[in-house]
Amino acid sequence: MHLARQYLEQNGFLEIETPILGRSTPEGARDYIVPSRVHPGTFYALPQSPQQFKQMLMVASMDRYYQVARCFRDEDSRKDRQPEFTQLDLEMSFVDMKDIQDMMEGMVSYVWKGLYGKDLQTPFPHIGYRDAMERFGSDKPDMRYGLEFIKLTEVVKDAPYKIFQNILAEGGFVAGMNLKADIAGEKVGRNDVDRYIKYAKKVGLGGLTWMRCVDGKLESNIVQYFTPEILEDIKRTMGAEEGDLLFIIAGPWKATYEGGGFLRKKVAEDLGLVPEDVFQFFWMDQCPIYEVDPVSGKCDAFHHPFVLPVGDPMDENVGGACFDLCLNGNELGSGSLRIHNVEMQRQVFHKLGLDDERIERNFGYFVEMLSYGAPPHGGIAIGVDRLCAILLNKESIRDVIAFPKNKRAVSLLDGSPSKVDDDKLEELQIISLAGDLDIGDIDETEIE
């Protein structure tokens, strides 16, 4: 952070601290809320990020802002997630996406040189969101090794294999991954294949089809459901050679590719394909604005509701001027150009299911701010804890945080969260619902 501050201040950024106690707004994750003693029955929220504050600073002509910001999200714990964490937030006026990315690449390179005495190769490569999903099964793929997916939908569309036909009839797809003989070979036997089939079901795939190239032909327990011509087309499309093992996935687009991404990572780790001490930064861009629930049809924000649409904001398939900075299969941070037109911001809120009354209640101050005339602006925030963990080859960000919470969001140091005295609750006009509930007696092994 010392090196990052040096670089940003050399480039005209002003460090500004934003409030910790703010308003609870519907932006994605659950808020941590704080009761007000002075105004009984009302609550502050701890910030999920300084997003709205830093945009308002652009309207206030601050031009270039940065902050090492503490953020709070009441989410289920994972190895790369804590209830409280640190972001490095940037915001700039009168910029395009390349300006933001160039600034970040310059900052990361400056930090890299200061840490390691080595030059970092820039510019970072780019990959589109859909391309990343369809090649690697992830919107933050680890591109240090191969095992890319290859589309097979057109190849197998006429195959008399009922499972594939049912999936394709519902708008699904089929894709395959080639485990070459020189990396898999005898390392992945029939028992290992069965183990991967079980793992595939565990990560959300309906199943896993496999074929192996033996004596120039594809063999498996299902080849009888494919014509020789289709099998030859699969072999050619997949580039299958003697001894290669093919894994084939099929199903709905997003859920199946995500499950395939987990499978790809598992195979790479098992076969020792993940190189050590190699750091591959890249930009993932061409992202959508909305994610549409396939069941309810409801739109949610892909990043957050302030991303500038590239097209009609009422079109659920519209793209966004947004991007992610990724490193070794991890998302370090997200950036975008922001909406600076008040009517477009209202349209996006409406598309996300907010009516005018709710917009006014939750975002009235923000919409009013835009109405004063906002400059075109954009920015990015990166996860400091996550970056430190990756650079130190740590599996969990808890390894780089002083006094971390465990997976149950409990501090093993002081036992928080804990009950408070009834007189404090009475002062806040809160009725205790905890009763005799006690989360104590936490085994120290649960830090993992």
pLDDT digits (tens, 9 = 90+) for 154-207: 999 999 999 999 999 999 999 999 999 998 877 899 899 999 999 999 999 989
pLDDT tens figures, 105-120: 999 999 999 999 999 9
Which of 208 and 75 is assigned the larger pLDDT?
Answer: 208
Band (pLDDT 50/70/90 cuts) for residue 407 is: confident
Beta-strand relationship, 209-214 and 245-251:
antiparallel
pLDDT at 444: 46
**What's the rounded Cα separation, in Å, for the pair 135 and 141?**
9
Mean pLDDT of 389-395: 90
Percentage above 90 pLDDT, the chain: 80
Chain centroid offset of residue 127 CA: 15
The whole model's pTM is what?
0.88
What's the domain count of the chain? 2
Q: At residue 213, does pLDDT exceed 70? A: yes
Residue 171: CATH number of its domain: 3.30.1360.30
Q: Where are the beta strands (DSSP E) in 220-352?
A: 245-251, 281-285, 290-292, 299-301, 309-310, 319-320, 322-327, 330-337
In a domain, residue 244? The reply is yes
Q: Are residues 262 and 289 in the same domain?
A: no
Boundary residue ending a domain (359, 380, 400): 400
Between CA 389 and CA 384 the distance in angstroms is 9
pLDDT at 27: 64
Q: Give residue 381's pLDDT band: very low, low, confident or very high (50, 70, 90).
A: very high
Instruction: Assess whether pLDDT exceeds 60 at residue 272.
Output: yes
Residue 12 lies in a domain: yes
> Do 111 and 161 have their domain in common?
no
In which domain, by residue range, is 248 found?
145-270
